Chain A
Amino acid sequence: MVNIKLMFIKFVVFRGGYCSGIILGNKRRAFLVTRCGKKVQIYYYFPTCIAQNRFFFSISIFFVLCYCRPMRLYYLCMRLSNQYMDNRSLISISDLSKEEILSLLRRAGEFEKNPNQRILAGKVVASLFFEPSTRTRLSFETAVNRLGGRVIGFSDPKSSSQAKGESLKDTIMMVSNYADLIVMRHYLEGAARYASELTPVPIINAGDGSNQHPTQTMLDLYTIYQTQGTLDGLTITMVGDLKYGRTVHSLLEAMHHFSPRFKFVACNELRMPEQYKEYCRQWGIDYEETTEFSEGIINQTDILYMTRVQRERFSDLMEYERVKNIYTLTASMLTGCKPNMRVLHPLPRVTEIAQDVDDTPQAYYFQQAKNGLYARQALICRALDL
């Protein structure tokens, strides 16, 4: 009857008082609705302490049943779920279930066939880029424009009130008065999660420091799906900077639904962190680690995911000079590969893929960047429930 699948409801009696009501919320926020219909935002830790106190728990159910008329409760639930609870923000790729990922991929496929649809007409999307970016910002703004929406925002924090010392909270609160959706990139980790807890307007994370970049992962998934026809049971080789590269980490987490096999190719300084290998073991995912980037490995691979070795990650520049050219892919290395094999790269590319690879049928990184548009269109529609 009531759409409460994303909510939990807890009944509560405040300590030392007789204020009864229900707590509505998801993991991000919680509200207490008292029996007179007053809505109070409560601290996040409250549900945890309530859960431990079973005695009050049972008493409070009694209170609510006594004092709240069922229909009124139903309307309150409906109103709250529409207004606040069903927050469609996308902060981290782990927020998405397997079914949601697959339905987003299908949706992205529809947009690829017909990218110009006026389903965002009358909507305003704020694009807040606290950190410069061209690729992500342009593809988001293109996505909104092609869907018929309008974009407001800034691409340079120097031109915003942040330069005057305004806090992120104030900026977000101000912008949520104007926009239906906020797309944000921030240089601090966790900024997007924080923003999504401040405002009922959905937030799409377009990168928060080195933490998460879920829309990049969605476009990677879409590209894999598009080139292989499936996501299940693929062999994915990741090459380059596996230690700091957030794209490889997010892709690894997203692929755990689809029983993949991984091969990690990196020098010792840039190996896959233990935390992610543990993650693979937990989910029973096969992986293999090597420092050698050989044709033997390429020949077993369905998806070759190349990443840039970033100069700024090295404390020792001699080490960087030594490492940077080891993991370079050339066209001659692709002669014996599987026919379905494709080379992906989140771009920008420097030396890790030689120019002659661009002309091989395996090169797919430019189409991959183009897919960003469709994946982001699908994510915008999900965020706005369209």
Chain B
Amino acid sequence: MVNKEKKELAVAALQNGTVIDHIPTASLFKVVNLLGLANLNDVSVTIGNNLDSPRLGKKGIIKVADLVFPEATLNRIAVIAPNAVVNIIRDYEVVEKFNVTLPDELFDIVKCNNPKCITNNEPMRTHFHVIDREHTTLRCHFCERPVAQHDITLK
């Protein structure tokens, strides 16, 4: 009985907004930064971490009330949380549910690891192509170096 109450508390209902679920705990705060949640002043944001998950073991979850992100913005999360699931809530009901999908190209999200790359030496946006979706391998548009998933660093 106590457990059930706790569970309900962890996933407290949202009237309208966006829920991003199944975020690996290590990536949770990167996702927070990526979506710029720290700069949202008017909406209520709930961030939960280390919650039990049958699929991931431990997971993170983000709930943003009264705000629906554009799909392209949400898909940027796929770089660090490829299995994240987005739920759009309207009037306490899930009206849309989808997995994030990695876009073909990433602009100004990932930093190039090559210190001699032009993007690390000029005031400019980075640009990466996704060359392998399965393993999330990227390639810098400028210096053409491949970046493996475990080497990805966000800007």
Contact = CB atoms under 8 A, between A and B. Distances in A.
A150 interface: no
Interface residues of A, number: 26
Contacts of A149: none
A45 B118 CA distance: 19
Interface in B97-155: 103-105, 107, 114, 116-119, 121-124, 127, 140-146
Interface in A152-167: 167
Contact of B107 (A45, A169, A189): A45
Nearest to A212: B144
A300 B61 CA distance: 62
A52 B105 CA distance: 13
A178 interface: no
A146 interface: no
B153 to A, nearest CB: 17
A44 B127 contact: yes
Given A188-B116, A188-B117, A190-B117, A48 B105 contact: yes
Contact of A45 (B71, B105, B121, B144): B105
A211 interface: yes
A45 B123 CA distance: 18
A194 interface: yes
Given A45-B107, A48-B103, A193-B141, A188 B123 contact: no
A73 to B, nearest CB: 27
A193 B71 contact: no
Contacts of B72: 45, 48-49, 52
Those 4 A-B pairs whose CB atoms lie nearest each other, nearest first = A190-B142, A189-B143, A190-B143, A190-B118
B127 A168 contact: no
Interface of A: 15, 43-45, 48-49, 52-53, 92, 167-169, 186-191, 193-194, 208-212, 275
Contact of B143 (A44, A48, A52, A209): A209
Nearest to B141: A193
A15 B73 CA distance: 14
A336 B103 CA distance: 55
B122 A168 contact: yes
Contacts of A53: 71
Of A92, A167, A189, most buried by chain B (CB within 10 Å of CB) is A189
A189 B105 contact: no
Given A52-B71, A186-B118, 18 more contacts: A45-B72, A45-B107, A48-B103, A48-B104, A49-B71, A49-B103, A168-B122, A189-B117, A189-B142, A190-B140, A190-B141, A190-B143, A191-B118, A193-B118, A209-B143, A210-B116, A211-B143, A211-B144
Contacts of A209: 116, 143
A312 B93 CA distance: 63
22 contacts: A44-B105, A44-B127, A49-B71, A52-B72, A92-B144, A167-B122, A167-B123, A168-B118, A168-B122, A188-B116, A189-B143, A190-B117, A190-B119, A190-B140, A190-B143, A190-B144, A193-B141, A194-B118, A194-B119, A194-B122, A194-B124, A208-B143
Contacts of A186: 118
Contacts of B121: 188
B100 to A, nearest CB: 12
B49 to A, nearest CB: 30
B73 to A, nearest CB: 9
A161 B56 CA distance: 54
B51 to A, nearest CB: 30
Contacts of A188: 116-118, 121-122
Contacts of B122: 167-169, 188, 194
A157 to B, nearest CB: 13
Nearest to A210: B116
Contacts of A189: 114, 116-118, 142-145
B132 to A, nearest CB: 11
